[in-house]
Structure 1
Amino acid sequence: MAKINPIQLQKHLRGVDYPASKRDLVAAAERNGADEDMRAALNALPDEEYQTPADVSRALGDNGGGDDESPEGRGHRGHKDQDDRPERDGDRDEDAGINPIQLQKHLRGVDYPASKRALIEAAEHNGADENVRAALGRLSDEEYQKPSDVSRALGDLLGGDKDSR
């Protein structure tokens, strides 16, 4: 199965109200124009409720986003502290852009709507590396209404729309 770009994943899950079932995720992806690889990846998820977009990304990572571990471990989200690992390399991927899970972790505590400056200050306060801060610095000077607006803007800025049209 093809590796799923996390920014594209969140773009195709736009409008999902969490918690969401696998059926809700697949329906949203279809509505938002997901390609066959994305729909197949979502259809392969365990049939359970996902509390956050990060849960979906983790489950997809377990299902084929990299490690080829045993099938018993797929979709397991019992380790809620997984996002708190000190993994600096996970902050970015040269080809895929900024990891949206790490991005939202670095933007923890932001009061929305938020200015570009507030986003950068929060990222610095939360220990974001230079690549994340630089990407935020390239955003347009506007107010962002919610976290997904920031992810979407970064996805557009970093070329996340190239293969979707």
Structure 2
Amino acid sequence: MSTATPATRFLDRHKISYDVFEYPYGAGDGPIGLQAAEAIGWSPERVFKTLMVELDGKPACAVIPSDRSLSMKKLAKALKGKSATMMEPAKAERLTGFHTGGISPFGQKKAVPVLFDDTVLTVEHPVIINGGKRGLMVCLDPVPAVSALRAQVAAISIL
């Protein structure tokens, strides 16, 4: 499997150091983030999933631990919007240029606001985030990654 993706090229351009983890992706084998955590042997709170949402009809990206759920109410409040909903998978694929199960916050086709759950700063570093392809994860320090994305950090997840 080639590890060159728009996501890894973004990280390279921004001189963000990362390691690659690959695992056998199985669509329909349960929540993708939890599947990835188990496959690579990392705790789920350190493996982050990327979710595409619509905030008041406009796209945004949320990155949360794989063992948590996104709070649409908290996300809307953090981004100063009224309401948020999950984006339809086909729309997320068109917007990001990635296939569902392989969506990364890095290197998306169209830049959108990105919001990381605040646990990204308190959990043990490094963390794992999708590398832009199903079965491809990148292990990195989240601080420079958040900075390169010009992302916000807020409490947006629930157990």
Alignment TM-score, normalising by the size of structure 2: 0.32
Higher RCO (C-alpha 8 Å, min separation 6): 2
Rg larger in 1 or in 2? 1
More strand by share: 2
More helix by share: 1
